[in-house]
Amino acid sequence: MLSKKSKYAINALVYLARKYQEDPKEKIQIAEISEKQNIPKKFLEAILLNLKNHGILGSKMGRGGGYYLRKEPAEVNLADIHRIFDGAIGLLPCVTYQYYEKCEECMDEDICGIREAIMEVRNQTVDILKSKTLRSIIEHEDRKKTRYQ
- pLDDT 10s digit of each residue in the chain, 149 long? 899 999 999 999 999 999 999 999 999 999 999 999 999 999 999 999 999 999 999 999 888 889 999 999 999 999 999 999 999 998 988 998 788 888 888 888 889 999 999 999 999 999 999 999 999 999 999 998 887 66
My answer on whether 9 and 56 are in the same domain is yes
State the amino acid at position 62 in one-letter form: G
At 123 the pLDDT is 95
Considering the entire predicted model, what is its pTM?
Answer: 0.90
Per DSSP (E only), the strands in the chain are 57-60, 66-69
My answer on whether 12 and 44 are in the same domain is yes
51: containing domain: 4-69
> What's the number of domains the chain is made of?
2
CB-side neighbour CA atoms (13 Å) of 129: 18
At 149 the pLDDT is 65
Angle between helices 78-86 and 41-53 (to 10 degrees): 110
My answer on whether 56 and 112 are in the same domain is no
Q: Pick from 18, 52, 69: which residue ends a domain?
A: 69
My answer on whether 52 and 81 are in the same domain is no
